[in-house]
Chains A and B, each alone.
Chain A
Amino acid sequence: MFNTRHTLVALVEDKPGVLNRVASLFRRRDFNIESLAVGRSEQLGLSRMTVVVGGDSAKVEQVRKQLDKLINVVKVTDITGEDIVTRELALIKVKATASTRSEIIQIVDIFRANIVDVASDSLTVEVTGDEDKVNSLLELLRGFGIKEVSRTGRIALTRGAI
């Protein structure tokens, strides 16, 4: 019954309005979506959606069953307790001067992140990993001055055989 973070993965039809239907259901049942990522899946005409929400298990199970009733949702699973791989991608534009640039590059290297754009007063960093890794890098870069951040939100798959 405790408030925990749940990761729901839904296989949905790739049709107009489907994202709206899914998001609307969360709103109706009083859930705040922490993140939502969607893109084409391995099957033609189907997208895979990863939704992260906080809530007690019974409430999340209720919303999962309601989602499963949507005609455009082919399958939806709460994979929270399962053995899963999760990743998030973030782009971070950080202030950089001649004197700070090399220090930033060092930090980026430690995180195995990449510099994807260099300007006279900033660097744009691309980082992939779980949320903790992204958060840690952000925390370290904050001291240099962060100009912009864009995060994809979590995507997830269960490990091994399906």
Chain B
Amino acid sequence: MKKTGAQILCESLIREGVEVIFGILGGAVLPIYDTFPQYPQLRHILVRHEQGAAHAADGYARAVHKAGVCIATSGPGATNLVTGIANAYMDSSPMVAITGQVARPFIGKDAFQEADITGITLPITKHNYLVAGAAELAKTIKEAFHIAQTGRPGPVLIDIPRDVQEEKAEFVYPDKVDLPGYKFVSKGHSVQIKRAVKLLKEAARPVIIAGRGIIISQAYDELKELAEKAQIPVINTLLGIGAFPGDHVLNFGMLGMHGLAYANLAVQNADVVIAIGMRFDDRATANTKDFAPQASIIHIDIDPAEIGKNVPIDIPIVGDVKSVLKAMNKEIESRNHLDWLSQLEQWRSEHPSLEIRQNDGLLPQYVIRQISEATRGDAIIVTGVGQNQMWAAQHYIYTKPNSLISSGGLGTMGFELPAAIGAKVGRPEETVWCVAGDGGFQMTIQELATIAQENIAIKIAIINNGYLGMVRQWQELFYQHRYVDTKLWNPDFVQIAEAYDIPGVRVKHREEVIPAIQKAMDYPGPFLIDFIVEPEENVYPMVQPGESLSQILELPKPEVPSKY
């Protein structure tokens, strides 16, 4: 039987297992929305801005390990998705973005709300399509989901002209894809695996750097087996948080610019680094010239283009992390590295990066720690970007796999609120905390309406220091305290929440923190806490830009009076 393009789209989405779509409508997607009532199994969540739809789909995808779907109209609707698509691309998050396009006869005529979205998203999608006719639609959707969800995941955009949505075609959903140019290696090369095992056998000071690839591949057990069997300490990247239990004796925390001192020292003094599903981002490596200077590096990644991109690699293993680790674990021998581990423990006690100092004002680190305690490290934390993100990465103890959702590569402020919506929709049984800064929160604040309309029970913690905090920290340290345009006038966030029918409280003192968090957790729906924290608190440790991971700034510099 013939179906319209819009019906073919819905039928295909259902066959791909899609349950939720985040979007907002407009002229060029009206035929699709008009078809939704025929498919009640597709839940549509109406957002207030297309960027919110993309981040929500991204948050959903990360939480449930399958492609998140977002939809927007042509022109400005499509261009508003761009930040969210770029964000998903940088963090290898599977997403299928559907955009309406002006009808085929109008393409290239600068028609109303026309934008060349396939051209615009070319460098930020794994692949994209402009659908030429309804007969192509099913095949295109099949390919899009396959590409988005396999190999190194990423966003795929499908641009569907309005008249294609109305055009009728025979609907047959293909069960295979035919993509001669799309290939990825799952199984690691056995010779390379043998070399890696041999190197690890000879290692005296090995470390694992665990990246997001472990989470994507869901190789938690395999990583744990490797670490425990060979007694290798585990360091993680920002997005590798949740790859290995935060309370495990072999966990030594995050490396990088705001990594823990002992994590950075471990990497800098290691003789073998085994980097798993990570891409040597500059925030993780600091100056690459002096990164892990004593180490031979084994790099396991599914993307061959990541091998040797930023750091020279001694033993590359291209393949799916889970499959490679399984193969390695078969050959790895039990080891102990007592001297090395006690050295790390010594660094941990000499450099207590997670110690929270006594302070009269409310410290953001303390707030995060209390959320960690109250949720027993068991919640999903979705962060913004900047200081709030770093404190959430450092001071929350993530005990569960895949429990941090954060914008790592693109560093998108405003990601937190819509991504938290996506995470909660994907895993409604989990407690989801959105840790926001007062700056980033206002970049996607309109999604409070989505939360209210859909009653999405997320808990929002605004770490409110009245500044674009991380930028202010850089101005303090590198621009001689000249706080140019980082001080924020803020609205009353509790009243704002109230206006959206979301209850909230303001917390200014230490003793109010625990009761407020409890109140938020006890409330059955969404809840907001505005934590008024120490305004000029900095994130430490810090490796200054251009320096190596060994040059760790730990203690706040003595106060210099501001001349500005």
- Residues on A lying within 8 angstroms of B by beta carbon are 12-13, 17, 20-21, 24-25, 28, 58, 62, 65-66, 68-75
A71 x B118 contact (CB < 8 A) = no
Which residue in A20, A68, A69, A74 is a CB contact (below 8 Å) of B122? A20
Q: Is the CB of B119 within 8 A of A71?
A: no
Give CA–CA (A24, B305) in the complex, Å.
Answer: 17
CA distance A75 to B127 in the complex (A): 17
In the complex, A73 Cα to B180 Cα: how many Å? 8
Task: For the A-B complex with A20-B122, A62-B309, A71-B181 known, give 17 more contacts whose Cβ atoms are closer than 8 Å.
Answer: A13-B180, A17-B118, A17-B130, A20-B119, A25-B123, A28-B123, A58-B308, A62-B308, A65-B304, A65-B305, A70-B127, A71-B126, A71-B147, A71-B179, A71-B182, A74-B180, A75-B181
Q: Does any Cβ of A come within 8 Å of B303's Cβ?
A: yes
Complex CA gap A25/B305 in Å reads 13
Q: Is the CB of B305 within 8 A of A69?
A: yes
Knowing A70-B181, A74-B181, the reply to whether A24 touches B147 (Cβ < 8 A) is: no
B122 pairs with A72, CB closer than 8 A: no
The complex places the Cα of A62 from the Cα of B304 at a distance, in Å, of 9
Q: Which residue of chain B has the shortest Cβ distance to A11 in the bound complex?
A: B181
Q: List 12 A-B contacts (CB under 8 A).
A: A13-B180, A13-B181, A24-B122, A65-B304, A65-B305, A68-B304, A68-B305, A69-B303, A70-B127, A71-B179, A71-B182, A74-B181
Q: Categorize the interface residue count of chain B.
A: 10 to 19
- Asked whether, in the complex, the Cβ of A72 is within 8 Å of the Cβ of B181, the reply is yes
B122 near A62 with CB under 8 A, answer no
User: How distant is B144 from chain A, measured CB to nearest CB, in Å?
Assistant: 10
CA of A74 to CA of B309 in the docked complex: distance in angstroms? 22
Which residues of chain B are near A12, meaning CB under 8 Å? 181
- A24 CA to B309 CA in the complex, in Å? 19
Q: Is the interface of A mostly helix, strand, loop or mixed?
A: helix
Whether the pair A71, B127 counts as a contact (CB closer than 8 A) is yes
Q: How far is the CA of A137 from the CA of B111 in the complex (A)?
A: 49
Q: Is the CB of A66 within 8 A of B123?
A: no
Residue with the highest number of chain B CB atoms closer than 10 Å, among A13, A25, A62: A62
Give the residues in chain A near B123, CB-CB below 8 Å: 24-25, 28
A24: chain B residues at CB < 8 Å are 122-123
Q: A58–B308 Cα gap in the complex (Å)?
A: 9
The 5 closest A-B pairs by CB, nearest first: A65-B305, A74-B181, A71-B127, A74-B180, A71-B182
Cα–Cα distance between A58 and B313 once the two chains are bound (Å): 13
Instruction: A21 to B118: give the CA distance in the assembly, Å.
Output: 10
Look across to chain B and name the residue whose beta carbon is closest to the beta carbon of A76: B181
Q: Which residue of B lies closest to A65 (CB)?
A: B305
B147 neighbours in A (Cβ, 8 Å): 71
Within the complex, the shortest CB–CB distance from A4 to chain B, in Å, comes to 18
What chain B residues lie within 8 Å of A20 (beta carbons)?
Answer: 119, 122
**In this complex, which of B118, B147, B181 has the most chain A Cβ atoms within 10 angstroms of its Cβ?**
B181
Closest to B118 in A: A17
CB distance from A158 to the nearest CB of B (A): 20
In the complex, residue of chain A having the shortest beta-carbon distance to the beta carbon of B310:
A62
Query: Which chain B residues in 108-132 approach chain A with CB under 8 Å?
Result: 118-119, 122-123, 126-127, 130
Give the CA-CA distance A24 to B179 in the complex, in Å: 21
Closest A residue, CB atoms, query B122: A24
Shortest CB–CB separation between residue A60 and chain B, in angstroms?
13
- Complex-state Cα separation, A75 to B309, whole angstroms: 20
Taking a contact as CB atoms under 8 Å apart, the answer to whether A62 and B305 are in contact is: yes
Taking the nearest CB of chain A, how far is it from the CB of B479, in angstroms?
29
Chain A contacts of B122 at CB under 8 A?
20-21, 24
Q: Which residues of A contact B303 (CB under 8 A)?
A: 69
Q: Are the C-beta atoms of B305 and A73 separated by less than 8 Å?
A: no
For B130, what are the chain A residues with a Cβ–Cβ distance below 8 Å? 17
How long is the Cα–Cα vector from A75 to B119 in the complex, in angstroms?
23
Most buried by B among A17, A62, A69, A73: A69
List of B residues within 8 angstroms of A72 by Cβ: 181
